[in-house]
Every structure is written in C-alpha cells, then in structure tokens.
A = this chain, B = another copy of it.
Amino acid sequence: MQRKSIKLADVAKAAGVSHGTASNVFSRPEVVRPEVRERVLAEAQKLGYAGPDPRGRLLRAGKVNAIGVATAEPLSYFFNDPFARVVMSGITQACDATGAGISLVSAANNEQLAWNIQSAVVDGFIVFCLEGGSRLVELTRERRLPFVALDFGYDDETINAIGVDDFSGAGMAARHLAELGHRRFGVLALPFDDSGSGPASVERALTAAYAGTRDRLRGYLDVLAGFGVDTSAVPIYETDNDEVTTRAGLEYLFAFPNPPTAVLAMSDKVALIAIDWFRERGIAVPDTVSIVGFDGVPEGGISKPPLTTIAQPMEEMGRRAVQTILEFDGTIRRETMELRLIGRASTAPPLH
C-alpha cells in the first residue's frame, strides 16, 4: 500500500512526543493528557498509521490468545468431515466463551505441515490424531507449547489427551447386536496402520499400530466370544474410512456363503456408506442385515434407516480440549470420555 509502512515511531516523531508516549496513546489512552493524545491521534490519522502492528505487540506480550487446531488432513477436513465439524463446534464454543481465536493448521504435504506447525502463532495446539497422527504429534511436541491430542490413537502417557474407551465402546456395539440374537458378524475396520486396506486376520488386527482401531476390534471380539461366537471366523476388512474401500469391504464380507446378519462398523462414515450399499442391492436394513456405527455424527440421525451407533461426546471433547490448553499447568491430563449407545432403526433381531 504505502511506499513504506508507517510505524509508531514515525507517528511519535511527527507529533513531537517520545515513542513511549505514542505507545501509551494506543494501548493505555487514559494515561496520557487529552491534549497530547488528540495531537498524536491526529498525526497518526494524517500519516495513515494503521494502528499498532500486532507482530510487534506479540513479541513483547506473553500470550497470543489463540489456539491452533492441527491435522494432517487438508484444511477442508475441518469443514467437510462430520466428526471434525462437531468437535470444532465444541472448540469454538469454548473459544467464544473465553475470547480466544482459532488458527487452522494443516497441509497437503508433510513438509508444509512441519513448517505450518513451526510457524503458527498460537498459545497451544489441539491435534486431531488420525492416521499419521504420531508424526503430527512429534512435530507439535517440538514446539514445546501446551497441546492436547484428540482421539488418542496410541498410548503415549507423556502428552495430554482426550479420548474415549474404545474397548468398552466397541463392546457395547457388539453386545447390543449379540443380545438381539445375532451370531454371524462382519467387521468394517478403520486402518490398522499406514499400509493400506484389505481383508485382515485377527492376529494382524490385534497387533495393529493404531491403538484405537485395535482396541475397538478387541472390544468387539471380546464380547462376541462371551456370547459363544467363534471370533477367529469373523471376517474383518480394513477400510480407509472412505467410499471405495468400504464398498470393497462389503463385497468381501457378503461374498461368503453364510454372510453376516450384523455388521460392526468402526465409524459412522463407513456405516452410512454401507447403508447406501445395502439399499442399492435391495438388502433390507435392519431386516436382513443390522449395522452399528461408531462416532455419533449428526448424519446418522437422518439416514434411512437412522443409524444405531456408539456416540462420542464430540462437542464436549472439543470444549475440554480448549480448557486443557488454556488451563495447562504442566501436569499431564488424560481424559476418557463416556461413550453411549444410541439405539436407532438400523438394528433389529435377525430374521432366522
């Protein structure tokens, strides 16, 4: 805009006062004599001074009053993914209440991500730990700012985390179906590690790198075993939590001679894709097949049929995350939030 940007010192000089006084005019106006204040303000106006540059202020001030929200997904994730959106909703509530700002941090490639995390001007980070979360956590840790991992997919006890009890949550889903009378199951899993999708053996699944996925699977199988199901025969398909791999997973599960009467999906997203797939093939839900999701996203309430699911208190998690950052005092805080079975119309007793 200007040839060279005006700074506070220029204004001070023009008004014939010290820069200290000029600074006071803007940051503590009551301390300077009205007459002088007017003069400085007038001069600032004349020079086209844009007001104290936050960069300068920031350097001096301790805190920024903004928190960073980081993910390894592209930025659009925050606005398009249902889970993220609900969590963000909770985060914004807490930020609105305390007047804190939000910086969205993310990047397409890893290098960008590192840079973006290193250069975010924030008081702390909330990290969405999805696949590849551990790298993100390392990057964030290096900033040595308070940060909290959301949805901890692994068990590093040295960082703040807010997560859920995947094991017992999955158990609730399995028990719900088993109590309805189901005995033939299929599992649509989330990624076990970075290696891609496909059918998975129980052994592989139980030694998965991603603790969240692993615990959910353990939760399923543990309960099913209690109901006398031969868990080693339960087909498991590892999806990428996307449409293509979920559909591939369904083809796999329903190619068996004795297909499942109940599907355990590790995310609502996968479950909703499955419901579409069933409809397309004329497979009745819940009459022919029951399905339970995981997460509790709003979309699950309006699908046809509405989805039975294990709901995470997403908004609450977002709010807690902000609190954890703002109130951080050096002691690690790890919270496990309650999961809740929401029984809707996608589950029913098996026909036979």
A residues adjacent to B (C-beta < 8 A): 1, 48, 50-52, 54-59, 65-66, 74-76, 78-80, 85, 88-89, 92-93, 95-96, 99, 101-108, 112, 116, 118-121, 142-145, 302, 330
Q: Flag if B101 contacts A89 (CB, 8 Å).
A: no
Q: Flag if A96 contacts B119 (CB, 8 Å).
A: no
- The 8 Å CB contact of A142, one of B50, B92, B105, B118, is B50
- Residues from chain B with a CB closer than 8 A to the CB of A96 are 74-76, 106-108
Q: A1, A95, A103 — which one has the most chain B CB atoms within 10 A of its CB?
A: A103
Q: Flag if B56 contacts A120 (CB, 8 Å).
A: no
Q: Flag if A75 contacts B58 (CB, 8 Å).
A: no
- The 8 Å CB contact of A92, one of B57, B78, B143, is B78
Q: In the complex, A156→B59 CA distance in Å? A: 36
- The 8 Å CB contact of A50, one of B92, B101, B105, B143, is B143
Q: Which residue of B lies closest to A111 (CB)?
A: B99
- The 8 Å CB contact of A51, one of B93, B101, B118, B302, is B118
Q: List 18 A-B contacts (CB under 8 A).
A: A50-B143, A50-B145, A54-B119, A54-B121, A55-B58, A59-B59, A74-B92, A75-B92, A75-B96, A76-B89, A76-B96, A78-B92, A79-B85, A96-B108, A99-B108, A99-B116, A101-B105, A104-B104
Q: In the complex, A151→B41 CA distance in Å? A: 33
Q: Flag if A76 contacts B93 (CB, 8 Å).
A: yes
Q: Flag if B66 contacts A55 (CB, 8 Å).
A: no
Q: In the complex, A325→B78 CA distance in Å? A: 21
Q: Which residue of B lies closest to A75 (CB)?
A: B92
- Residues from chain B with a CB closer than 8 A to the CB of A144 are 1, 48, 50
Q: How far apart are A146's CB and chain B's nearest CB, in angstroms?
A: 8
8 tightest A-B contacts by CB?
Answer: A75-B92, A50-B144, A76-B92, A54-B119, A102-B104, A74-B96, A79-B88, A55-B59
Q: Flag if B58 contacts A121 (CB, 8 Å).
A: yes
* Further pairs besides A75-B96, A78-B79: 11, Cβ < 8 Å: A1-B330, A51-B142, A55-B59, A55-B121, A56-B59, A85-B85, A99-B112, A102-B103, A102-B104, A103-B104, A104-B104
Copies of this chain, whole number: 2
Q: Flag if A89 contacts B80 (CB, 8 Å).
A: yes
- Residues from chain B with a CB closer than 8 A to the CB of A78 are 79, 88, 92
Q: In the complex, A83→B75 CA distance in Å? A: 17
Q: Which residue of B lies closest to A65 (CB)?
A: B119
- Residues from chain B with a CB closer than 8 A to the CB of A74 are 92, 96
Q: Flag if A143 contacts B1 (CB, 8 Å).
A: no
Q: In the complex, A106→B100 CA distance in Å? A: 9
Q: How far apart are A275's CB and chain B's nearest CB, in angstroms?
A: 14
- Residues from chain B with a CB closer than 8 A to the CB of A330 are 1
Q: In the complex, A148→B301 CA distance in Å? A: 37
- Residues from chain B with a CB closer than 8 A to the CB of A95 are 75
Q: How far apart are A103's CB and chain B's nearest CB, in angstroms?
A: 5
Q: Flag if B105 contacts A104 (CB, 8 Å).
A: no
Q: Which residue of B lies closest to A118 (CB)?
A: B51
- Residues from chain B with a CB closer than 8 A to the CB of A103 are 66, 101-104
Q: How far apart are A75's CB and chain B's nearest CB, in angstroms?
A: 4
Contacts A80-B89, A85-B79 given: A57-B119 contact, CB under 8 Å? yes
